[in-house]
Amino acid sequence: MPKVKLYDTTLRDGSQAEGISYSVRDKIRIAEELDKIGIHYIEGGWPGSNPKDREFFLKINSLKLKHAKIAAFSMTRRPGITADKDSNIAALLKSKAQVITIVGKTWDFHVTEVLKTTLEENLAMIDDTISFLIKKGFLVFYDAEHFFDAYKANKDYALKTLTSAQNAGAGNVCLCDTNGGALTSEIMNVISELKSKIKVELGIHCHNDAGVAVANSLAAVEAGVSMVQGTINGYGERCGNADLITIIGNLKTKLRNDCITDAQLGQLTHLSRFVSEISNMRVKNEQPFVGDSAFAHKGGMHINAIMKNPRTYEHLDPALVGNHRRILVSELGGKTGILLRAKDMHYDLNKEDHQTKRILALVQKLEHEGFQFEAAEASFQVLMHRALKKYKKFFTLEGFRVVIEKQSDKKITSEAIIKLNIRGVKEHTAADGDGPINALDNALRKALKDFYPTLSKMHLSDFKVRVLEEKAGTAAKVRVLIQSQDEADSWNTIGVHENIVEASWQALVDSIEYKLLKDAK
């Protein structure tokens, strides 16, 4: 199988995901990381659509990327004019991108209902745009929008659009499942039919509306396409795009395709989490290959087998993709789980050690009270350090107070006042917040920032509350789970109490201490 070319569109298609907005600096940083891992083409954006993308192309051109070529995206020229008169095409020329990707209408329904032009004019638009850019010296890729829907609706016309792009000189024609509704068997059948009719190299661009974008992309590769488009972590409009992280993992480890080097594959987890951090999106624990739960084991039978041979319950060595095995500590795992976690933390314990028995009893007691350490591994690590008395506390709470005020204009404000002893120094600070927990978090960080500057690199990315005893009403215990992350990692901590502020405080302290312990290594 020839080496598959990887085309990343996180900076354009990925930025269309709900909740994502990249600054120019964000896009530059992501592009640099994509280049390091060996992505062949990075789609930087649509320079004709907004000032931000135009600025990106001006700045990215001054960087010396080692592997990637930067692509600029746009549509075919508008109906009724020539390519040299189209403002979008003019913006492409000014971008000085190494590659131009042009999207065009393939579905006759879109041509007549959206473009409001004739089928013949649409073919001329494809030919004119690509020919013009080829003459200007660009490598041009053509994105056949809605191709699989188009092929089902009007096969002859869909083929004419591809032929038009091919004859105009496109270096690759990418088949797009824009609505994300095609199934894997359809993808393979259509590509098999095209191979005898289209001579130019083919690419694949899948959306995930039917939940099969990755499967469709891999099937397309097996059917003969030479380029795969996708986004990091599957970010994109609606249900997202094909996840390039999962695609790369499968291409390298299952299909044995050398799309990137083995060393670059080892950075896959880092890349996923870095982009998650920059995107201000929650890390997906269940994400294949790179998620925190991808190689996590909880059941005692599984853990016992993993200790004997990891292949019993793992499809590959997690180190290959830069991830690591996790043995989840719970009442189901017994002493074995604790011993394995202790080993990971470089503590030498055995099953008969009184400390092991004491920690197991403590875990069982806390889980009976409502704690769940398999969902909060960082809290368990902090618990181990405390139980074994292996570190000096970073700070000691002397007291806090949280005030919630509803004013006459119905605005609700929260203020937290906190007193800490930090390495013998008394700190007394206050901070406002969007709510009581946010205010408490802000006050805690404010007190610690001069002593521990690295805390500025972390933030809370998720906050969940669950009532444990619904019949107890307002007196019920609540479980608070907090997810935190920095540029390199994400972690989960837990707190349980009848008072939601106290439960949140427990989780906040564990999160801060885990970060400081991690940085002290």
pLDDT for the residue numbered 345: 75
User: Residue range 112-140: average pLDDT?
Assistant: 96
Inter-helix orientation angle 354-369/334-344, to 10°: 110
Summarised one tens digit per residue, pLDDT across range 102-115 is 999 999 999 999 99
Q: Domain residue spans in the chain?
A: 5-260
pLDDT for the residue numbered 342: 76
Across the chain, what does the average pLDDT equal?
A: 91
- Whether the per-residue pLDDT at 336 is higher than 70: the answer is no
User: Residue range 325-346: average pLDDT?
Assistant: 68
pLDDT bracket for residue 45 (50, 70, 90): very high
Q: How far apart are CA 98 and CA 91, in angstroms?
A: 14
Q: What number of other Cβ atoms are within 10 A of residue 399's Cβ? A: 9
pLDDT bracket for residue 343 (50, 70, 90): confident
Q: Note the CATH architecture for domain 5-260.
A: Alpha-Beta Barrel (3.20)
pLDDT bracket for residue 130 (50, 70, 90): very high
pLDDT bracket for residue 425 (50, 70, 90): very high
- Whether the per-residue pLDDT at 332 is higher than 70: the answer is no
User: Residue range 509-513: average pLDDT?
Assistant: 94
Q: How far apart are CA 7 and CA 3, in angstroms?
A: 13
Q: What percent of the chain has pLDDT over 70?
A: 96
- Whether the per-residue pLDDT at 340 is higher than 80: the answer is no
Distances (CA, A) of 180 to 8, 161, 231, 286: 18, 20, 14, 22
Q: How far apart are CA 165 and CA 209, in angstroms?
A: 27
Distance of CA 370 to the CA centre of its chain: 30
- Whether the per-residue pLDDT at 200 is higher than 60: the answer is yes
pLDDT for the residue numbered 305: 87
User: Residue range 57-81: average pLDDT?
Assistant: 94
The answer for residues whose C-beta is within 8 angstroms of residue 100's C-beta and 6 or more apart is: 71, 72, 74, 92, 133, 138, 139, 140, 141
- Whether the per-residue pLDDT at 120 is higher than 60: the answer is yes
Inter-helix orientation angle 51-60/87-95, to 10°: 30
pLDDT for the residue numbered 30: 95
- Whether the per-residue pLDDT at 492 is higher than 70: the answer is yes
Sign, CA dihedral 122-126-129-131, equals negative
3-state secondary structure of 274: helix
pLDDT bracket for residue 391 (50, 70, 90): confident
- Whether the per-residue pLDDT at 502 is higher than 60: the answer is yes
pLDDT bracket for residue 294 (50, 70, 90): very high
pLDDT for the residue numbered 306: 82
Among candidate residues 290, 286, 342, the one with its CA nearest the CA of residue 321: 290
pLDDT bracket for residue 178 (50, 70, 90): very high
132 or 300, higher pLDDT:
132
4 or 413, higher pLDDT:
4
User: Residue range 242-248: average pLDDT?
Assistant: 98
Q: What number of other Cβ atoms are within 10 A of residue 3's Cβ? A: 12
* pTM for this model (two decimals): 0.73
- Whether the per-residue pLDDT at 224 is higher than 90: the answer is yes
- Whether the per-residue pLDDT at 375 is higher than 80: the answer is no
